[in-house]
Amino acid sequence: MVARLFSGVLGIHPFHSQDVLVFEADPIAESDATDFSKNVSSCPGYSLNSLQESKFGLVAQLSLSGAPCNAFGTDFEDLTIQVTYETDSRLRVRIADSGNKQFTIPESVIARPPPPTTSFTHSSDLVFNYEPSPFSFWITRRSNPDATPLFDTRLSSLPKPPLAPVIPDDNSTALDGFPLVFEDQYLQLTSSLPLDANIYGLGEVIASSGFRRNVASNGGSIQTLWARDIADPIDQNMYGNHPVYVEHRFNETTNEAQSHGVFLFSSSGADILLLTPPGASQSLVQYRMIGGVFDFYFFSGPTPHAVIEQYGALVGLPSWLPSWAFGFHLCRWGYISINETMEQVQAMRAANIPLEVMWNDIDLYHAFRDFTSDPVSFPGDAMRAFIQELASHNQHYIPILDAAVPHPTNATDVYDPYIRGHELDTFVKNPDGSEYIGKVWPGYTVFPDWFANDTQQWWTESLKNWSDEGIEYSGIWLDMNEISSFCQGSCGAGADLSNTSVPFPLPGMPGALVTDYPECYDSSVSGPSGNVTVNGALTCTDSILHALLKRGEGAGGEQGVNLNAPPYAIHNGIGDLSINTIATNATHAGGFAELDVHNMWGMMEEKATHLALQQLQPGKRPVIIARSTFPSSGKWAGHWLGDNFSKWEYLYYNIQGILQFQIFQIPFVGADTCGFNGNTDEELCNRWMQLSAFVPFYRNHNERGALSQEPYRWDSVANASRTAIATRYTLLPYWTSLFANASLRGTPPVRALWYEFPTEAELFSVDKQFLVGADILVTPVLTPNVSTVEGIFPGRGEVTWRDYYTHKVVDVSSNGTATLSAPLGHINVHIRGGSALLLHANPGYTTTETREGPFSLLVSLESNEHAFGTAYIDDGVSNPPTESRNLTFSATAGQLAISSNGNFAVEQKLQQITILGVTADPTDVSVSGMTAENWQFISELQKLVIYNLALDLNGAQIVSW
């Protein structure tokens, strides 16, 4: 077993909740009844012995082809394979034990589309092919039958085992065979991939390779699926679990590019290996699961957008978000009182830096208890008044909610959420039926069991009571839902429940002072301020980062199952599966074992919280930000990228995180801006506040005890933030249109460059830049002490990119790159030629004030004088929106046509139209038949500005010049 504790290049931070507190109760040791060979070389595989075709696909029986190998569990003799052509672009291949003993995700937990009623068997672009013995299958495209299959489990397509460890120093990557293995505690299936395939997704992970996964370098990589509370490690399993990938194939000869997707619908603990054996002419993907069944879905794409949309159609599309969710959010662990919290709101206002949503962390609680507020430091009535005051300024409030529910210390300790939950029987159990005890900040705790009948009711009630007591939240922040617990396994029946001392010194306390700074900042030389310069000298004195930041190239009821220590040890970063979470033998209502459902706890909490908010705030769009996610989480919540570090390296890593979660259909995502763990500094915070302004979820969050990092703390950061937020609020109609497309169709709002330019191979590993929608290219600075940044400009010279602020065309070199000026406080943003963006003309202090003002339109003509854009408008709050309006903007030489459809009445007028790329000085400008008076032409910028308009957007308009 491989247990790498912390492989990040950074030093160990003094506080991590992965530190294991107590090793008290030994999870009931179950002896292995069987001697497992721990080697699959003698596994016989399966052969197909009967097959029935239907209109929708086929069903076949497989039987074990020889003596059981019992590699890491007991082989099943009989399997059933179901192949269903669910749509023209989605094919399901499900292989399960015929006796249905293995855990499968209940329909009540994740609803999937109903089975097809028409046949797609002969029209689907995906074709299922098989060989009966040894049974293997492969997936091809109907449109391209001779191409390398998209997925291929044939032994003849895989390298010849046995193979020495493919990843050096990891013996578990010695490959002793590729048979189909289906045991109660071990399932293995291997597919061939093109050599060093372009694979994106599989997570949650911070991959050292970048957004494009490492398939070949140093043998490859391993994605482990096991939800874990761990401060953002590199190349390890962490909070969320997403067994879905997009693969992109590009044929240089035909210049054809196509993407497809593969999703394993399973909550089982697993390793997914992306490997390239030395000298092999292909790479491979190997699934190793410790339970469940194989339930694969293939998506035909063929564009990356289509793959992501097809995945969304299966697991669920992202929920609608209110416009205020796109405002700027401020949070930190360590606002210890209502006064300190209010001071932030005032300081932001005084500095004229927009603040949309104020947050509180666990400081809010009384004795760290969920659903409370401290009567002295956050009295309920004062909180109510404070939150209502915020609301009167169109500002919002979001508090934290921890996953663990405190257990009362003794009989006189009255804590209603526990008492009521106990009464309604809503908590996770031990195998003997007693309540399972864990330990988190408040001391000993219990955990909601989302499988129990009354948990939803209890959760909704608790949320309602909290709000009634003064915490009138607009949204909810769900933390610790991996689910985190500080004992290894159960804290035991004999736990001293009266002990509520915090399990670790909190960060900032004696013994846990925060002493870390960004990589090149030396506080022993520069002092603790974190300023860019101290006494005239730059504080960043080392540029090691330039080297680091290279572009990555690169079953509850089953007998005989060992719930406590499955024979195959997945590569869980901390080793034993029960460390820092609840024990794998903890039992949920209905008999579900934690081992099988662990990875879904967070998603189930998100669903329950979403349903509760729908009931408590009827007609409004719930805003929930959660840490541990699973397929379908996006239907209920957004995500923040967890406990990152105030390091330049993490500024870069946050881009791949945002891109990954677009694939996972959880597009509302963002990092702790300026960095969570450790002290930040002025320069890093400045760059980060600017970068995050172009990221869906925009929140500055900081750990307790670290240097303050609110955007007003440094003048340069304040300036940079004001500029970036103004740009963001100007672009709000663009953001909300992108998110409408996500909620309606699953189209990813934030995109890797290659999604839009899939035949440009030089873009396949670019993850230091990203696109917001199709048209806004962001090229952030990711390193200290620089005032320029190099970017690539897609389109190979065929696309005109204009600077967002100056409207100048970028001068791109022959290799497609440009070096851009990027002084501190400036983030490079470019508009794609051929686009038309609806904007707000006057960004205000809040999104509400911004929305109350008029619109403007920015049209960037391509050299052929063409541009096109769309915008979606609704009231920004209704759930689901019943009234909406769709605008299209389409420009050809000398003319722009606006069309308007829908039933939402847009009150704000279109005040200004800017058209870039107008080559000839216009003599006459007219707007819907009237000669325009107020226009200006700036010939060096080929820019026509028509101002002082008051165009109605509820009908068609024509502008000509």
Of 297 and 368, which has the nearer Cβ to ligand MIG?
368
756 in contact with ligand MIG (CB under 6 A)? no
Strand partners, 81: 60, 95
17 in contact with ligand MIG (CB under 6 A)? yes
Q: Which stretches does DSSP call E strand in 894-939?
A: 895-902, 910-916, 926-927, 930-931, 935-938
Centre a 10 Å sphere on the Cβ of residue 689 and count the other Cβ atoms it contains.
Answer: 29
Per-position x/- string for 645-684, each x denoting binding to ligand MIG as judged by CB under 6 A, each - no binding: ----------------------------------------
Helix 732-745 × helix 304-315 angle, to 10°: 60
Q: Which of 182, 333, 630, 664 binds ligand MIG (CB under 6 A)?
A: 333
Size of the site for ligand MIG (CB under 6 A): 11
Of 141 and 704, which has the nearer Cβ to ligand MIG?
704
> Of 361, 461, 472, 482, which is the active-site residue?
482
Amino acid at 881: P
Of 296 and 333, which has the nearer Cβ to ligand MIG?
333
Range 178-188 burial, b when 16+ CB lie within 10 A, else e: bbbbbbbbbbb
We find the least distance from the C-beta atom of residue 634 to ligand MIG, in angstroms, to be 19
Per-position x/- string for 699-738, each x denoting binding to ligand MIG as judged by CB under 6 A, each - no binding: --x-------------------------------------
361 in contact with ligand MIG (CB under 6 A)? yes
DSSP 807: -
626 in contact with ligand MIG (CB under 6 A)? no
The tokens for 948 are 């002082």
Per-position x/- string for 256-295, each x denoting binding to ligand MIG as judged by CB under 6 A, each - no binding: ----------------------------------------
**CA dist., res. 403 & res. 797, Å (int):** 51
> Of 643, 649, 683, 760, which is the active-site residue?
643
Of 429 and 639, which has the nearer Cβ to ligand MIG?
639
Helix 682-692 × helix 648-663 angle, to 10°: 20
Closest CA to 611 of 455, 743, 447: 455
- Which residue is nearest to ligand MIG, using beta carbons? 333
Centre a 10 Å sphere on the Cβ of residue 832 and count the other Cβ atoms it contains.
Answer: 23
- Per CB under 6 A, contacts with ligand MIG among 448-487 are 479-480
Closest CA to 867 of 834, 916, 914: 834
Per-position x/- string for 499-538, each x denoting binding to ligand MIG as judged by CB under 6 A, each - no binding: ----------------------------------------
Q: Which of 71, 205, 246, 362 binds ligand MIG (CB under 6 A)?
A: 362
> Of 183, 402, 479, 594, which is the active-site residue?
479
368 in contact with ligand MIG (CB under 6 A)? no
We find the least distance from the C-beta atom of residue 676 to ligand MIG, in angstroms, to be 6
Of 225 and 671, which has the nearer Cβ to ligand MIG?
671
79 in contact with ligand MIG (CB under 6 A)? no
Contact 748, 660 (CB under 8 A): no
We find the least distance from the C-beta atom of residue 419 to ligand MIG, in angstroms, to be 24
We find the least distance from the C-beta atom of residue 478 to ligand MIG, in angstroms, to be 10
634 in contact with ligand MIG (CB under 6 A)? no
Please confirm, yes or no, whether 204 is among the known catalytic residues.
no
Helix (H) or strand (E) holding 234: none
Of 212 and 704, which has the nearer Cβ to ligand MIG?
704
DSSP 76: P
We find the least distance from the C-beta atom of residue 703 to ligand MIG, in angstroms, to be 6
We find the least distance from the C-beta atom of residue 10 to ligand MIG, in angstroms, to be 17
Amino acid at 601: W
Per-position x/- string for 888-917, each x denoting binding to ligand MIG as judged by CB under 6 A, each - no binding: ------------------------------
Of 335 and 652, which has the nearer Cβ to ligand MIG?
335
Cα 774 to chain centroid distance, Å, stands at 19
Q: What is the largest CA-CA distance in the chain?
A: 90
Please confirm, yes or no, whether 479 is among the known catalytic residues.
yes
**CA dist., res. 783 & res. 677, Å (int):** 18
We find the least distance from the C-beta atom of residue 377 to ligand MIG, in angstroms, to be 16
CA distances for 872 relative to 743, 841, 901, angstroms? 12, 17, 10
643 in contact with ligand MIG (CB under 6 A)? yes
- Per CB under 6 A, contacts with ligand MIG among 140-199 are none
Contact 693, 725 (CB under 8 A): yes
Q: Which of 159, 406, 642, 869 binds ligand MIG (CB under 6 A)?
A: 642
Centre a 10 Å sphere on the Cβ of residue 168 and count the other Cβ atoms it contains.
Answer: 10
We find the least distance from the C-beta atom of residue 408 to ligand MIG, in angstroms, to be 21
Contact 659, 770 (CB under 8 A): yes
The tokens for 559 are 């007998």
124 in contact with ligand MIG (CB under 6 A)? no
Cα 327 to chain centroid distance, Å, stands at 19
Of 299 and 441, which has the nearer Cβ to ligand MIG?
441
Contact 440, 485 (CB under 8 A): yes
Query: For the chain, how far is it from start to end, CA to CA, in angstroms?
Result: 71
579 in contact with ligand MIG (CB under 6 A)? no
Of 304 and 399, which has the nearer Cβ to ligand MIG?
399
Closest CA to 791 of 770, 760, 764: 770
For 893, phi then psi, to 5°, come to -55, 115
Angle, CA of 739, 745 and 749, to the nearest 5°: 35
Amino acid at 54: S
Place of tokens 């179950």: 30
**Catalytic amino acids?**
479, 482, 643
Summarize as ranges the residues that interact with ligand MIG (CB under 6 A): 17, 333, 361-362, 400, 479-480, 627, 642-643, 701
